[in-house]
């Protein structure tokens, strides 16, 4: 009973009290070490530092820095303008542009909040002028930005690969079709919405405009080619791809377009370091918590209890989806993955679910959690950028949450969507 209180009740109470997640985990670990587990306190600092001694983990700070450079260096703006030039002349084209631009920028920047800010700032005025109300516009931007959690090369998938001891490249490959499916479902919904609301038509796509925007965005679009081509072509690992993304984005923004100078670069590095430090503190604290939880035998006991209940696979997956959605609305994806993977992975493996497929299920769940009321991080980012009341944002995201929950169920119960590109 004391172990359950220490491992689960204490962190829940601390989270409700508003403590930062890394502090919640550290305090919980210290209480466990001092009063529950027979682990010497001296082991804490050793485990914390050794948790960062991991080469694949280097991809996280590099991808964060690359995303900041792209967002502030004109790459995001050129990508959005290019996508807008391609989609025109149909009802709902501006909304579809938001979805497509978020998918593309999410694949480049790997951050949901960054996608909301970068894409939203540029396209929100056009959405409002184009006949979309405030509620729909902010809901679309908040939900579309969350695709960055799923679309490869995703930071969430990198962390899952470390926690579950799975191939990052396999996870990236498995995430391609689910992320495209989410984008297609969102695009279909916004086009139906635009037709029902009789949103005005935008100007038709013109070859002259497409050609000029393609020339202007050529170097920016090349970011996706460099990252994906390098990873899947076997030229470099995902970690090395993150470093290459930083170098390439610096070259494009400072040499080709000359929109970032050294003082601005310093400010970009400072803002990136702040975000990177947050993520790495969560990684170290969550790693210690997961290790203590695993060695306590609680996950093994839960697996045994589930086996005794003889719960069918579909019911277990439904229950896990619900838990992940709830946790995802409170926790950031890095923390949720590092805390919950050691607990849930043995459960799903016991009913025959592939660890790669479960990684995609987890990523999609946590992407929905990014804009699930009341505490989804994208909701607060959207409020900060557009100064919209939270109530309006909540109502705006609910339709997207509903349709993407259906998409999540399809991805969960049709493993081929995730596994077919892996030949499974």
Contacts of 281 (CB under 8 A, 6+ apart): 22
Per-residue pLDDT for 55 more than 60?
Answer: yes
Tell me, what's the pLDDT at 300? 67
Are 285 and 52 contacting, i.e. CB atoms less than 8 angstroms apart?
Answer: no
Burial class (CB in 10 A: 0-12, 13-18, 19+), 82: buried
Give mean pLDDT, residues 356-375.
Answer: 89
Please give the full DSSP string across 350-405, using - where no structure is assigned.
HTT--HHHHHHHHHHHHHHHTT-TTT-HHHHHHHHHH---HHHHHHHHHHHHHHHH
CA distances from 333 to 71, 112, 184 (A): 21, 10, 23
CA atoms of 91 and 98, how far apart (whole Å): 14
In this prediction the pTM is 0.81
Give mean pLDDT, residues 39-57.
Answer: 71
Per-residue pLDDT for 404 more than 90?
Answer: yes
Per-residue pLDDT for 408 more than 90?
Answer: yes
**Alpha helix segments (H runs only) across 206-312:** 207-232, 238-250, 262-296, 298-309
Tell me, what's the pLDDT at 310? 75
Tokens of 298: 């609680």
Per-residue pLDDT for 1 more than 60?
Answer: no
Please give the full DSSP string across 29-66, using - where no structure is assigned.
HHHHHHHTS---TTHHHHHHHHHH--GGGGHHHHHHHH
Q: What is the pLDDT of residues 215-267, one digit of tens each?
A: 888 888 888 888 888 887 878 887 888 888 889 989 999 988 888 888 888 99
Q: What is the pLDDT of residues 70-103, one digit of tens each?
A: 877 778 778 878 887 777 667 778 888 888 888 8
């Amino acid at each position: 009973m004391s172990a359950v209180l220490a491992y689960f009740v204490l962190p829940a109470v601390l989270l409700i009290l508003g403590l930062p997640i890394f502090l919640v985990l550290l305090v919980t670990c210290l209480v466990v070490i001092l009063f529950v587990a027979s682990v010497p306190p001296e082991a804490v600092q050793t485990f914390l530092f050794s948790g960062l001694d991991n080469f694949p983990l280097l991809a996280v700070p590099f991808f964060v820095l690359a995303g900041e450079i792209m967002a502030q260096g004109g790459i995001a703006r050129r990508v959005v303008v290019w996508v807008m030039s391609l989609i025109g002349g149909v009802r709902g084209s501006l909304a579809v542009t938001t979805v497509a631009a978020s998918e593309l920028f999410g694949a480049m920047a790997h951050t949901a909040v960054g996608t909301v800010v970068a894409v939203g700032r540029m396209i929100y005025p056009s959405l409002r002028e184009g006949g979309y109300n405030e509620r729909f516009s902010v809901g679309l931007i908040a939900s579309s930005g969350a695709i960055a959690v799923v679309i490869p090369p995703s930071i969430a998938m990198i962390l899952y690969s470390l926690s579950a001891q799975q191939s990052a490249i396999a996870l990236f490959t498995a995430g391609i079709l689910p992320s495209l499916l989410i984008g297609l479902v969102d695009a279909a919904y916004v086009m139906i919405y635009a037709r029902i609301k009789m949103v005005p038509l935008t100007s038709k796509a013109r070859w002259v405009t497409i050609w000029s925007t393609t020339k202007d965005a050529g170097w920016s679009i090349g970011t996706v080619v460099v990252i994906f081509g390098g990873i899947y072509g076997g030229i470099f690992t995902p970690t090395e791809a993150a470093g290459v993304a930083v170098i390439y984005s610096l070259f494009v923004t400072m040499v080709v377009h000359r929109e970032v100078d050294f003082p601005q670069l310093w400010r970009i590095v400072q803002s990136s370091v702040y975000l990177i430090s947050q993520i790495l503190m969560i990684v170290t604290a969550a790693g210690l918590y997961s290790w203590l939880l695993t060695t306590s035998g609680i996950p093994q006991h839960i697996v045994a209890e589930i086996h005794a209940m003889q719960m069918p696979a579909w019911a277990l997956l439904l229950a896990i989806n619900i838990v992940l959605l709830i946790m995802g609305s409170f926790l950031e994806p890095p923390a949720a993955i590092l805390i919950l993977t050691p607990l849930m992975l043995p459960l799903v493996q016991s009913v025959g679910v592939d660890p790669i497929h479960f990684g995609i299920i987890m990523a999609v769940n946590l992407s929905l959690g990014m804009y699930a009321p009341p505490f989804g991080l994208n909701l607060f980012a959207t409020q900060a950028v557009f100064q919209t009341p939270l109530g309006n944002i909540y109502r705006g995201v609910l339709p997207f949450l509903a349709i993407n929950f259906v998409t999540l169920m399809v991805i969960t119960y049709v493993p081929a969507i995730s596994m077919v590109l892996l030949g499974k």
